[in-house]
Amino acid sequence: MGILKNKVAIVTGAAGGLGEAIARAYADEGANVVVSVNNSKGNGEKIVDKINKAGKSKAVLVVTDVTSEDSVASTVEKTVQRFGKLDILVNCSGIIMRKSLLDHSLEDWEKVMSVDLTGTFLTGKYAAKQMIKQNSGKIINVASIAGLIGYDYVSYSASKAGVINLTRTMASELGPYGINVNSICPGLVITNINRAVVEGNKELYDKSVKKIPSRKLGLPIDIAQSAVFLASEKSNYINGVALTVDGGAICHFNYYGD
């Protein structure tokens, strides 16, 4: 019996990478999962099919624009209509602009903020409305160690810092309703979005690994297992934390550098 048996979870950004890993890990632990994706033409249907064929839980696909209040509200409503409740929300939708301050346009800035920060706000708000009715729930916001240290990608770092403090504020406001809100701050994890950055550059790869105390890069499953813990009853007295899952990389300033 999985530690999330009979729980109901929404995982945004679940078409690949960390979101997919979290959705599948939740399903393996018995949770019914709403695989929330931003495009019906992506990988979402395959993920839902794999979860349903495994037979440990049920999964459905919902297309969600996390920057749209109506779309987010509809996703929560569909979840409750299908499964009767909402126990867990994971905000994993995100984009990154690999640009410095002077290279950023206002359009770049606003695009990242709308998905990474505003999207987290909207989904958290509408999930919280349902969880308050139930007097219980777990909200997990995927941030980054970029939100805790100086980092080269200005809009991404700022948005993730915002997610971390939004998490603290949500935890303070929602705690009296039996809702825990925490963030996960991954370090360098090998997903499709950054694989080419490190795997295609041996020198950069070696530097990155050398500056991580655990001497290895993260895998999506590392983040997923942390998300399982924060969604489970084992974390019931943890609220408002920014959990770094980075092999110790945050111990080093700018671990991409020399």
Would you kindly state where each structural domain of the chain is located, as residue ranges?
A: 8-189+219-251
Q: Which helix (H) or strand (E) holds 83?
A: helix 69-83
CATH number for 8-189+219-251 (one of 3.40.50.300, 3.40.50.720, 3.40.190.10, 3.40.50.620): it is 3.40.50.720
Using one digit for the tens of pLDDT, what is the confidence trace for 193-218? 666 666 666 676 677 777 788 888 88
* Each residue's pLDDT tens digit, 73-126: 999 999 999 999 999 999 999 998 888 899 999 999 999 999 999 999 999 999
Buried b (16+ CB within 10 A) or exposed e, 14-33: bbbbbbbbbbbbbbbbebbb
Instruction: Cite the active site residues.
Output: 156
* pLDDT at residue 255, rounded to an integer: 43
